[in-house]
Structure 1
Amino acid sequence: MKKKNTDGVYIELEDVIRLQHKASGFHFLPRQPLQSLLAGRHASRLRGRGLDFEELRLYQKGDDTRTIDWKVSNRARKAYVRVYSEEKERQVMFVVDQRLSMFFGSKKSFKSVTAVEALTLGAWKVLDSGDRVGGIIFNDCESREFRAQRSRQATMAMLSEAVKFNHQLGVDQGIIESPDMLNSSLEKLLHKPRHNNLIIIISDFHGMDEKTYHHVRALSRHNDVVLTLVYDELAKEFPENHFPIRLSDGIDQVELDLSQAKLRKSIPDLLQGRLKSLGDSLGKFDVPILPINTHEDVADQLRKILGGQHLKRAHKPQAMKGSR
């Protein structure tokens, strides 16, 4: 793969390897610190690892009566309880967006890079916790699925593919946007029976519709689902200069004359309105939403959101002020 000297626009394989050492201080288990976003109103939606049945044994004083196996107890004429242990590993699936809508960023990184960084940190952390990691990487044209495995080699193969997809992005690549690829990727997960998986969707959710809602709700019936919303801070701190800027959707380009005060004000208002609408829509899914912006270090953000550091209370997505 030819390296592009465009820091923050593309991510390199060596960046993915280096991030392995920053995958600490956060976790995806439901027992979150009180300050964690996952300890908020959606906490009951997170099941954590499942339980494996181990044995039947005689009831002992202090045992939870809810664990009594009444059928066995009636036959034996003695009280027996069912003993369970926590599953030794869990399957975590990442769904990562590398569509053209993600190829945008006004400060530190593009949304597409931020998404791969979030995937990388999450994947290394899951693997370090002894769980299996897999996922689906998708763009506007195709998707690639990776079976969940507890293997560094398999994880590295998935991350390498994410880097490959990332390098295929560009406004000069002739890419035609395909909003429905988000739904297509979620459908892939639905085609295989899944139970007690943790499914983490990392996207800007461009093209989200009723079908998306249906898919997420279906997945969340028997699994934990977390929506990681990647957004840009352009609306919060729009450029103060009066020089023209060029914006592109990958096909067409438009030049904006920022010397017009009315235009400078209307663009942030438009983007803030879009983000609020998106936040309202995502709120209907009744699953945790993790907002990740493009201008801060992703590892630091994950520690704040999932590790309870530096926060006095659980924050909701309203902290997001701008997006594209």
Structure 2
Amino acid sequence: MSAVAPIADGRVHVSLPELIALRSRVARAPAPSVTSRVQRSGQRPSRLHGRGMDYAESRVYQAGDDVRRMDWRLTARSGVAHTKLFQEEREGRLLILLDTNVSMRFGTRTRFKSVQAARAAAMAAWYAVRGADRVGVLAFGGQRQLLRPQGGSRGALAVAGALAAWDALPPGEDESLSAALQRAGRLMHGASRVLLVSDGFAVDAAARGRMLGLVAKAEVAVLTVADPLELSEPPAGRYPFAHRGVHYDVVLQGERQRSDFARSLGEGHRRLDELCDSLGLRHRTLDTSADPLDAVVALLGTARGR
């Protein structure tokens, strides 16, 4: 007997039509502000002087310089031959690093974290291609798959399709963030930016060193997805849970009991926040009932040199 396909309701499972429809929401957001498309090395902008479109500066003429690039005004003013240098235009590439560990399949308000993560990733894809970037996605955790960066609407549609397809598959074994970052470092495919979307429970002791290695190659931003129950202490009451088909109730009454429960549930986003703060990475926290657009724009829409 074949397995029954999950219902793509947009709450427990990702809805592909919704991911595609998010394009119209992104189209109304402020356009990405890009200062240049020069390849980045880590968090520091670099400048490449080549045959691009953006004027960088002028310098004294050197043997072999293209005479068509002569800065005649500065040459006349200084009496010394000068040539113009330009910043080379390069197409930017965004790689979305998506957490698909089993902890992401959890939610008490509106939708699962896994569904919210897919919505945020889809918005990031639409926003990236709007800024003429290529976009790809690398899943880690239960799914360990790569969609190589592609440009234009086709690239964002491919990301949306991959997100929905991967969500419909049964989850595999969990994977640590350090292992995922190591794979990402090998599979960058020229990406100049990386957006990590995770709930933080995959953060391990080795993750900081691996993240440092990734930061040396690309500009890294982090979007932490959290359920509201993970962000604040819950009120007293009975809370029904289900895990791998097993249903059970958690009864929370006393202050100490609720505090310990909140501390345990919030461990993931705290570890990820601490990692980002220690490395000076831009990061935002997104709960499962919020619109991801503001967080995506905040992380990807600021001016950057690449």
TM-score (normalised: structure 2): 0.75
Q: Is the 8 A contact 2:239 2:249 kept in 1?
A: yes
Summarize the alignment of residues 266-305 of structure 1 with structure 2, pairs less than 5 Å apart: 266-272=260-266, 275-303=269-297
After superposition, the Cα gap between the structure-2 partners of 1:295 and 1:193, relative to the gap in structure 1 and judged at 3 Å, is closer
Residue matched to 2:59: 68
Residue matched to 1:53: 50
Q: Is the 8 A contact 1:16 1:159 kept in 2?
A: yes
Separation (CA, whole Å) in 1 of partners of 2:270 and 2:230: 12
After superposition, the Cα gap between the structure-2 partners of 1:145 and 1:260, relative to the gap in structure 1 and judged at 3 Å, is same
Would you say 1:258 and 2:252 are equivalent positions? yes
Separation (CA, whole Å) in 2 of partners of 1:255 and 1:304: 38
After superposition, the Cα gap between the structure-2 partners of 1:272 and 1:159, relative to the gap in structure 1 and judged at 3 Å, is closer
Q: Is the 8 A contact 2:136 2:147 kept in 1?
A: yes
Q: What is the percent sequence identity of the aligned residues?
A: 18
After superposition, the Cα gap between the structure-2 partners of 1:144 and 1:179, relative to the gap in structure 1 and judged at 3 Å, is closer
After superposition, the Cα gap between the structure-2 partners of 1:277 and 1:246, relative to the gap in structure 1 and judged at 3 Å, is same
Q: Is the 8 A contact 2:113 2:225 kept in 1?
A: yes
Q: Is the 8 A contact 1:195 1:223 kept in 2?
A: no
Q: Is the 8 A contact 2:147 2:162 kept in 1?
A: no
What letter corresponds to residue 110 of structure 1 in structure 2? Answer: F
After superposition, the Cα gap between the structure-2 partners of 1:191 and 1:301, relative to the gap in structure 1 and judged at 3 Å, is closer
Name whichever of 260-269 and 117-126 sits farther off: 260-269
After superposition, the Cα gap between the structure-2 partners of 1:47 and 1:163, relative to the gap in structure 1 and judged at 3 Å, is farther
Secondary structure of the corresponding residue to residue 14 of structure 1:
helix
After superposition, the Cα gap between the structure-2 partners of 1:272 and 1:119, relative to the gap in structure 1 and judged at 3 Å, is closer
Separation (CA, whole Å) in 2 of partners of 1:228 and 1:297: 13
Secondary structure of the corresponding residue to residue 243 of structure 1:
strand
After superposition, the Cα gap between the structure-2 partners of 1:87 and 1:238, relative to the gap in structure 1 and judged at 3 Å, is same
What letter corresponds to residue 214 of structure 2 in structure 1? Answer: L
Q: Is the 8 A contact 1:139 1:165 kept in 2?
A: no
Residue matched to 2:212: 217
What letter corresponds to residue 8 of structure 1 in structure 2? Answer: R
Structure 1, unaligned runs of 5 or more: 32-43, 56-62, 170-174, 309-324
After superposition, the Cα gap between the structure-2 partners of 1:202 and 1:278, relative to the gap in structure 1 and judged at 3 Å, is closer
Secondary structure of the corresponding residue to residue 255 of structure 1:
strand
Q: Is the 8 A contact 2:48 2:87 kept in 1?
A: yes
Residue matched to 1:103: 105
Summarize the alignment of residues 5-16 of structure 1 with structure 2, pairs less than 5 Å apart: 6-16=9-19
Name whichever of 274-283 and 101-110 sits farther off: 274-283
Structure 2, unaligned runs of 5 or more: 36-41, 68-78
After superposition, the Cα gap between the structure-2 partners of 1:262 and 1:193, relative to the gap in structure 1 and judged at 3 Å, is closer
Separation (CA, whole Å) in 2 of partners of 1:30 and 1:4: 39
Q: Is the 8 A contact 2:241 2:250 kept in 1?
A: yes
Residue matched to 1:205: 200
Separation (CA, whole Å) in 1 of partners of 2:205 and 2:246: 28
Secondary structure of the corresponding residue to residue 50 of structure 2:
strand
- Among residues 216, 225, 229, which one is paired with 2:224 in the alignment? 229
Would you say 1:245 and 2:240 are equivalent positions? yes
Separation (CA, whole Å) in 2 of partners of 1:69 and 1:253: 75
Separation (CA, whole Å) in 2 of partners of 1:148 and 1:307: 19
What's the C-alpha RMSD, in Å, of the aligned pairs?
3.5
Deviation at 1:53, TM superposition (A): 0.8
Residue matched to 2:175: 179
Secondary structure of the corresponding residue to residue 159 of structure 2:
helix
Summarize the alignment of residues 132-211 of structure 1 with structure 2, pairs less than 5 Å apart: 132-140=134-142, 142-168=143-169, 175=171, 177-180=173-176, 182-192=177-187, 197-211=192-206
After superposition, the Cα gap between the structure-2 partners of 1:114 and 1:86, relative to the gap in structure 1 and judged at 3 Å, is farther
Separation (CA, whole Å) in 1 of partners of 2:184 and 2:196: 11
Deviation at 1:283, TM superposition (A): 1.5
